Amino acid sequence: MESDRELILEDAASIRVAMRRIVRSTSEATERLDERIENQTLDGPTEAKELREVLEHVQALSLEVSEELDAYQQRHARWGTFRALLTGDGTRRVELARA
């Protein structure tokens, strides 16, 4: 069974991935819109449909992230917080400080 520390790290990594997916989706949609604006090839219904699909995708991802964030926050509340410590030799050590 995984330790609580590993679960907290897993939660954080999962949240990071989902946030990057949101950024990527919106960035790609914005780039396509920029290209159409620059090329003056706008077609209102096409952009509206594509942007609505992206917004719906982002909304679904946002709900997913929100649920993961709730789990992360609850786990942190139960087990404490991570803190990074600099050791005497200049390396970093991460440890879980129990609440």
What pLDDT is stored for residue 33 in this prediction? 93
CA angle 22–28–31, rounded 5-degree value: 140
Contact 73, 80 (CB under 8 A): no
Task: State how far the Cα of 78 lies from the Cα of 81, in Å rounded to an integer.
Answer: 9
What pLDDT is stored for residue 89 in this prediction? 60
Contacting residues for 18 by C-beta, under 8 A, at least 6 apart? 61, 64, 65, 68
What pLDDT is stored for residue 41 in this prediction? 93
If we measure between CA atoms, which residue out of 64, 83, 87, 90 comes closest to residue 11?
A: 64
Does the predicted model carry a pTM greater than 0.75?
A: no
From first to last of its 99 residues, the chain has per-residue pLDDT tens of: 457 778 878 888 888 999 999 999 999 999 999 999 999 999 899 999 999 999 999 999 999 999 888 888 887 766 655 555 555 565 655 555 554
Task: State how far the Cα of 9 lies from the Cα of 92, in Å rounded to an integer.
Answer: 16
Distances (CA, A) of 67 to 11, 58, 64, 89: 10, 14, 5, 39
What residue segments make up the domains of the chain, in order of their start?
Answer: 4-97
What pLDDT is stored for residue 90 in this prediction? 59
